[in-house]
Structure 1
Amino acid sequence: MQIRFDHGPGGGAQLFKASRRRIRAERPEEVPAALAALDAARADGLWIAGYASYELGYALEARLAPLMPAARRVPLMSFAAYDAPRAAEPLVAGAGALGEAVPLWDAARYGQAFDAVHALIGAGDIYQANLTFPLEMEARGDAGALYAALAAIQPVRHGALIEEDRRVILSRSPELFFRTDAEGGIETRPMKGTQPRSADAAEDARRRYFLQSDEKNRAENLMIVDLLRNDISRICVPGSVQVPELFTIESYETVHQMTSLVTGRMQPGAGLAAILCALFPCGSITGAPKLRAMEILRALEPRPRDIYCGAIGWAAPDGRAEFSVAIRTLLLEGERATLNVGGGIVHDSTATAEYEEALWKARFIRPLIGEDKGRS
């Protein structure tokens, strides 16, 4: 398994190659040993890099274990242990393109699932749920060239290219899942709230201001901040969890996003396994309450999320680590590519607006499928 990070441990593009060990879990019963192997490898002075699929979350909670789907396209966990990363060569442009992206759900089918979620919110069963669906398309040419083109279109902090067996993962995620330092600090930056960019500067500024001040988006973001505060407190020293930033707006090529920052000081001995057990999957892509939202989404969504909404990242032997939430992420298998999209539903959401917002999030691939290359 070979993994390139746009911003690796050294700050620039870095490559993990020529692994010393593979750490995988294909089945739920293999997860405990794989988690232990992550911490054992770091204790042996090795670096870790890889990913966890969304469905790993079902294996981490006994209540969710019956939800594990049989037909999955990626392992629950796929990591490798390395001596150290090295500087990556510059990305090279080449021949690569995507076919037309076809949503598995049209607006009407999405509306049916939305109505089911909305009714449960109205009944007080949950407060929020992040409903998602896949888009399928043809992938043509070299995966590395596709990744280079995507990186040129929309630079992000957490871009990653994973080449593994018969699959390739191209992630252009802007969202930090968690970051740890060598002194035991941990931070997570949930991303909730979206507005599309506009080519008109005045309209673009209006949309950014709307996102910053909109009560619906703030409420949605705050729910997830509270969820992450609860999750992170499971591994942190009591009283150390803080929220130094609320409702920050980050602007990307195609969308404005609202983020917040949650920080804490980890309890002594909390390793990568403990972090994943406490936080995974990220609350920003599930809902609140987390476990009940995951149960509802499993019943409604058309297929396993696989790598989408999982986590991609690296961990150093000295305690540093950085993982992203695997959104804006393409899974390539031969000539088949899958890109999932979605968004959080709350009480005052509407099906039309949420479906449109979900499709906004796929706009970053437009230039590769021959659509309009500018903003609208």
Structure 2
Amino acid sequence: MQIRFDHGPDGNAAVFARPRQIIEASRIADVPAALLALDAARDAGKWLAGFASYELGYALEPRLEALMPKGCRLPLLRFGVYDTPPNEAGDLPLTDVTLNDLLPDWREQDYAAAFQTVHDYIGAGDIYQANLTFPLRMRARGGAQALYAALSRVQPVRFGALIQAKGLPAILSRSPELFFRTDAQGQIETRPMKGTQPRSDDPVEDAQYRTFLATDEKNRAENLMIVDLLRNDISRICTPGSVRVPELFKVESYETVHQMTSLVVGQMQAGKGMSDIFRALFPCGSITGAPKLRAMEILAELEPSPRDIYCGSIGWAAPDGRSEFNVAIRTLMLDGECATLNVGGGVVYDSTAALEYEEALWKARFASRLVSGRG
């Protein structure tokens, strides 16, 4: 297994290759031992790099175990164990690549039917928000590394990663969202991303989109719901009184969309390890909804297929306590020439199906820019 990070532990592009050991869990029964093995490896002075699929969340909560879908294409978690820090990453090939036939599994009317069910649950008081998602299928030509290089030029992000492992689909993540980061002193931070507007080539219109996102009450309310959820999750592993929200409703601009983010920080209790972080936080509340467990139950009822790596997490962990993991949005799985890209967004009571479907498709723009071969 080889994992390339756009920004590794020292801030530069880095690659973890040739692990001395693989820690993997493909069944619910395998998960507890795998999580303990991650902690043991770090305690022994090893580095970790790998991924957790969204469906790991079902294995971490007994109430959700029965929701585990059939047909998952990835393990629930897979990490390499390394003796040394990653190497500096070399340049990726700059060859021609194309993506063709971006076809959503849900047409707009299919999405509208699922949306209405979510909306009914919100109206009944079951949930406040649910992050409803669906996959797009496409044909990719050019190979995983060349495609990743092209996507990197189209969508520069802080938390990009490329995973290639024998026998598994390649994972190409162009994620702008931080799941969590820890430092050597035990501080943890998470930066949920909720709220989207498109970019425009017209500077005046683009500024209007950005201003609208910054001030729109619906987007602020949606973001605040997830901030409250993350504050609750992170407090499970932090010392009382240490959890703070130093940034609220910050707008970040990327090549194809504007996004609203907030920052939640806390001081972890002594002795908390990787297993504790994942049990407390995973999956990230920004891609489930609130309350988290009920939202996950409703989404499992409605969504057409496993999310796999989408809305899971990719990252690394150092033996001194540092770590950094993304939320695996804007992330493709590539199996031969067959690529899958999931998109979605948060549904709240005053959402409309047409606008939410449009917003979901905005999030595929970074990939659709390669359809004509311009990448």
**Would you say same fold, with TM above 0.5?**
yes
Alignment of 1:159-178 (within 5 A): 159-166=160-167, 167-178=169-180
* Code of the aligned partner of 1:39: D
Give distance in 2, aligned partners of 1:132 and 1:366: 18
* Code of the aligned partner of 2:74: V
CA contact (8 A) 2:39 2:274 kept: yes
Q: After superposition, what is the alpha-carbon deviation per residue over 1:301-334, rounded to whole angstroms, capped at 9, x for unaligned?
A: 0011000000000000000000000000000111
Q: CA deviation at 1:78?
A: 0.8
Give distance in 2, aligned partners of 1:372 and 1:11: 29
* Residue aligning to 2:248: 246
* Code of the aligned partner of 2:303: E
Give distance in 2, aligned partners of 1:86 and 1:246: 36
1:259 matched to 2:261? The reply is: yes
Alignment of 1:274-353 (within 5 A): 274-353=276-355
Q: After superposition, what is the alpha-carbon deviation per residue over 1:110-144, rounded to whole angstroms, capped at 9, x for unaligned?
A: 00000000011011110000000000011212210
Give distance in 2, aligned partners of 1:160 and 1:175: 12
Q: After superposition, what is the alpha-carbon deviation per residue over 1:336-366, rounded to whole angstroms, capped at 9, x for unaligned?
A: 1000000000010000000000000000012
CA contact (8 A) 1:366 1:372 kept: no
SS in 2 for 1:298: helix
1:233 matched to 2:235? The reply is: yes
Give distance in 1, aligned partners of 2:252 and 2:264: 16
* Residue aligning to 1:360: 362
Q: CA deviation at 1:208?
A: 0.1
* Residue aligning to 1:273: 275
* Code of the aligned partner of 1:294: M
* Residue aligning to 2:3: 3
Alignment of 1:11-50 (within 5 A): 11-50=11-50
Give distance in 2, aligned partners of 1:352 and 1:39: 45
Q: After superposition, what is the alpha-carbon deviation per residue over 1:269-316, rounded to whole angstroms, capped at 9, x for unaligned?
A: 000000000000000000000000000000000011000000000000
Structure 1 runs of 4+ off > 4 angstroms?
A: none
- Name the CA shift for 1:75/1:160 in 2 (closer, same or farther; >3 Å): same
Give distance in 1, aligned partners of 2:374 and 2:337: 23
Give distance in 2, aligned partners of 1:24 and 1:96: 32
Q: CA deviation at 1:371?
A: 7.9
Give distance in 1, aligned partners of 2:265 and 2:32: 27
* Code of the aligned partner of 1:165: K
SS in 2 for 1:369: coil
* Code of the aligned partner of 2:14: Q
Q: CA deviation at 1:95?
A: 3.1
1:104 matched to 2:139? The reply is: no
CA contact (8 A) 2:102 2:368 kept: no
Q: After superposition, what is the alpha-carbon deviation per residue over 1:40-84, rounded to whole angstroms, capped at 9, x for unaligned?
A: 111111100000000000000000011011211100001110122
Give distance in 2, aligned partners of 1:7 and 1:372: 25
Give distance in 2, aligned partners of 1:60 and 1:67: 12
* Code of the aligned partner of 2:372: G
Q: CA RMSD in A?
A: 1.0
Q: After superposition, what is the alpha-carbon deviation per residue over 1:9-29, rounded to whole angstroms, capped at 9, x for unaligned?
A: 011000001101100001000
CA contact (8 A) 1:96 1:143 kept: no
CA contact (8 A) 1:94 1:142 kept: no
* Code of the aligned partner of 2:131: N
* Residue aligning to 1:63: 63
SS in 2 for 1:199: coil
Unaligned stretches of 5+ in structure 2? Answer: none
Give distance in 2, aligned partners of 1:371 and 1:216: 37
Give distance in 2, aligned partners of 1:306 and 1:149: 23
CA contact (8 A) 2:3 2:17 kept: yes
Give distance in 2, aligned partners of 1:29 and 1:358: 34
Give distance in 1, aligned partners of 2:354 and 2:317: 41
* Code of the aligned partner of 2:243: V
Give distance in 1, aligned partners of 2:311 and 2:181: 17
* Code of the aligned partner of 2:86: P
1:155 matched to 2:156? The reply is: yes
CA contact (8 A) 1:175 1:327 kept: yes
Give distance in 2, aligned partners of 1:334 and 1:29: 30
SS in 2 for 1:9: coil
* Residue aligning to 1:144: 145
CA contact (8 A) 1:283 1:290 kept: yes
Unaligned stretches of 5+ in structure 1? Answer: none
Give distance in 1, aligned partners of 2:159 and 2:198: 20
Identity %, equivalent residues: 69
CA contact (8 A) 1:138 1:337 kept: yes
CA contact (8 A) 2:98 2:371 kept: yes
SS in 1 for 2:231: helix
Give distance in 2, aligned partners of 1:351 and 1:29: 38
